[in-house]
Amino acid sequence: MDLHFTEEQLMMRSMVQDFARTEIEPLIPSMEAGEFPRSIINKMAKLGLMGITIPEKYAGVGMDFISYIIAIHELSKVSATIGVILSVHTSVGTNPIVYFGTEDQKQKYVTKLARGELLGAFCLTEPGAGSDAANIKTQAVLKDDHYIINGSKAFITNGGEADVYIVFAVTDPQTGNKGISAFIVEKTTPGFIIGKDEKKMGLHGSKTVQLTFENMRVPIENRLGKEGDGFKIALSNLNIGRIGIAAQALGIAEAALNSAIYYAKERKQFGKTIAEQQGIAFKLADMSTAVEAARLLVYRAAHLCALEESCAKEVSMAKLFASKTAVQVATDAIQIHGGYGFTEDYPVERYFRDAKITEIYEGTSEIQQIVISKYLLR
């Protein structure tokens, strides 16, 4: 596998790095205070980032999949909040319509999502169905030319802020995961109720809400794919979502490593910098090795996804390892900062708080182990 980026990818990387430094970094305090970064989303839209992989025909910039992963990785080095907003909007908010939508659905929704005029979200998880995604209870009943949808969704990233939601609901309760269908739902639909805004350990600028659907009438033309296609649509797009989260975790891990190296070279104890003390130097060596291994797994999986080859196992391996690395490296970075690492004066405590969720959302580490072992043992 070639890890050398093309000229175009390198240009895009440097543009995203500049953008993150000049536009995102100054807004970190407001995001940490819980403010949703709408102005950043508008600026990302102007740069084409909200439609980075979407074909030009649907108002995207039509860049390759590796460029998208580079963007999530670089944005997440500065702000994991921005990383997840873009990842969810693209991978599970917009892509399902690109891959499974009708031409009318693409013209109506993808063009606006790609331009960043609309923000996307994904509604699979429910209060009683997280890892066991096939066990959702939200029901969609066809009545004339509308589906009547009733149920609740939990932990919806971009929820309340997003305009368009890919909603999964049961249309045939007798057939298990083959009875789930997908729908494109607009926030303004009567019966779409925004509930609790979760107070989270990290990702403070990103919204995570509960949603309730009460006799929500969704036109039949907003069903995505055929009845019963929903679980397939959810899982195939989750692969693309998971590699985005793996790239987010890689960005957090790299940021934590860089902070630890910088601090270790500045901080003096016992008459020399702590970097010159073997206990710290060896820790940095291990952290850096883990980050490098995560990078290889993430870009290898992204490369397979870009070739549109089967990539579920490699994506799960990348997410499993990169998320574990992010948590471990952020923990070690705090340790290297000592007491200062436990304060808000240094960014490492934020990296630690943001890292943990990468082991949980878009499939917990245990779900990634299920996916990997199923492929190994079949």
Q: How far is CA 195 from CA 105, 138, 148, 279, in A?
A: 27, 16, 19, 48
Stretch that binds ligand CAA, among 16-24, 103-111, 126-134, 331-339 (CB under 6 A): 126-134
Residue with tokens 């693309």: 240
Q: Does 236 bind ligand CAA (CB under 6 A)?
A: yes
Among 290, 314, 292, 293, residue whose Cα is nearest residue 303: 314
Pick the catalytic residue from 161, 254, 314, 362.
362
Of the pair 96, 341, the CB lying nearest ligand CAA is at 96
DSSP reduced 3-state for 98: helix
Q: Does 88 bind ligand CAA (CB under 6 A)?
A: yes
Of the pair 14, 131, the CB lying nearest ligand CAA is at 131
Verify whether residue 362 is a known catalytic residue: yes
Residues 6+ apart with CB under 8 A from 347: 255, 259
Of the pair 114, 123, the CB lying nearest ligand CAA is at 123
Residues 6+ apart with CB under 8 A from 131: 363, 364, 366, 367
- 269 to 298: interface string for ligand CAA, x by CB under 6 A: ------------------------------
Give least dist CB 87 to ligand CAA, A: 8
Give least dist CB 234 to ligand CAA, A: 8
Footprint on residues 343-372 left by ligand CAA (CB under 6 A): 361-363, 367, 370-371
Give least dist CB 58 to ligand CAA, A: 22
Q: Does 36 bind ligand CAA (CB under 6 A)?
A: no
Of the pair 59, 238, the CB lying nearest ligand CAA is at 238
> How far is it, in rounded angstroms, from Cα 280 to Cα 273?
10
Give least dist CB 316 to ligand CAA, A: 7
Residues 6+ apart with CB under 8 A from 51: 58, 59, 60, 61, 94, 113, 114, 115, 116
Candidates 105, 157, 181, 259; binder of ligand CAA (CB under 6 A) is 157
Q: Does 335 bind ligand CAA (CB under 6 A)?
A: no
How many residues does this entry show for the chain? 378
- 127 to 156: interface string for ligand CAA, x by CB under 6 A: ----x-xx----------------------
Among 70, 12, 368, residue whose Cα is nearest residue 247: 70
Q: Does 238 bind ligand CAA (CB under 6 A)?
A: yes
DSSP reduced 3-state for 168: strand
Give the side-chain half-sphere CA count within 13 A for 281: 6
Stretch that binds ligand CAA, among 231-239, 256-264, 266-274, 288-296 (CB under 6 A): 231-239
Q: What are phi and psi of 166, to 5 degrees?
A: -90, 110
Residue with tokens 């990702």: 203
Candidates 13, 235, 277, 300; binder of ligand CAA (CB under 6 A) is 235
Contact 167, 182 (CB under 8 A): yes
Q: Give residues in contact with ligand CAA (CB under 6 A).
A: 88, 92, 122, 124-125, 131, 133-134, 157, 177, 235-236, 238-239, 312, 361-363, 367, 370-371
